[in-house]
Amino acid sequence: GAGVSQSPSNKVTEKGKDVELRCDPISGHTALYWYRQRLGQGLEFLIYFQGNSAPDKSGLPSDRFSAERTGESVSTLTIQRTQQEDSAVYLCASRDVEVKLFFGSGTQLSVL
Amino acid sequence: GENVEQHPSTLSVQEGDSAVIKCTYSDSASNYFPWYKQELGKGPQLIIDIRSNVGEKKDQRIAVTLNKTAKHFSLHITETQPEDSAVYFCAASISNFGNEKLTFGTGTRLTIIP
């Protein structure tokens, strides 16, 4: 079946601009995660959704980062006033009933 | 919070030989340990996982072992093939059927030499 879909796959933006990254989880998966992966690094937890609520936002690096989820489906990660240190791959994952996480291919964000 | 250490950071193995990647974790409450394979330009793909009620799990050429007392777990790949070349990540979490926040290791770049 269809996997986790993320868009855009690549985003180049200028410092100071806002960006929106989208995630479409696997149908029926109620839990959704956002992670960040800097070049050559491991995955850094950002936020977790259960349904449309976010019980754990502890990984969001600053108040410039926010995320929402609607209809227990699509999620959007928004980064305001982007900085060069925001450049990374942003990965979304959804979780099945066996507690396994399935990742999308990510959005490569480059802030110039 | 949980801290996961992974080593080695790079590993080169002759095709057909075995590869072993090791991870340690800090939180004794962690009870779920997945391994992910990430190929260039793709998201991580789950290849095998183990829960704390078992010590070993196998799936064809891949096996994972867990030592809860020592708080470490390992990935074993036997009869390696060129398509096994990728970055491998271990992770740990406390699985309470609520927030499965995985804490990842820093990755191992595995290269299979033909």
- As a whole number, mean pLDDT of residues B74-82 equals 98
Inform me whether the pLDDT recorded for B53 exceeds 90.
no
Inform me whether the pLDDT recorded for A1 exceeds 60.
no
Per CB-CB distance under 8 Å, the chain A contacts of B43 are: 4, 91, 93, 103-106
- As a whole number, mean pLDDT of residues B24-38 equals 94
pLDDT in tens, A78-89: 999 999 999 999
Inform me whether the pLDDT recorded for B96 exceeds 80.
no
- Check residue A42 and give its pLDDT: 87
Do A95 and B100 make contact, defined as CB atoms within 8 angstroms? Answer: yes
Closest alpha carbon to A61 in A40, A81, A31, A32: A81
Per CB-CB distance under 8 Å, the chain A contacts of B49 are: 100
Q: Omega into B44 within 30° of 0, i.e. cis? A: no
Q: Outline where chain B has alpha helix (H).
A: none
Name the residue in chain B with its Cα closest to that of A108.
B41
Q: What does the block give as tokens for A42?
A: 């491991």
- Check residue A40 and give its pLDDT: 81
What's the gap in Å between the CA of B47 and the closest CA on chain A?
11
Name the residue in chain B with its Cα closest to that of A30.
B98
Closest alpha carbon to A52 in A22, A34, A73, A33: A73
What's the gap in Å between the CA of B24 and the closest CA on chain A?
15
C-alpha gyration radius of chain A? 13
pLDDT in tens, A30-76: 899 999 999 888 899 999 999 999 988 999 999 999 999 988 899 99
Distance CA A67, CA B54 (A): 37
What's the gap in Å between the CA of B31 and the closest CA on chain A?
12
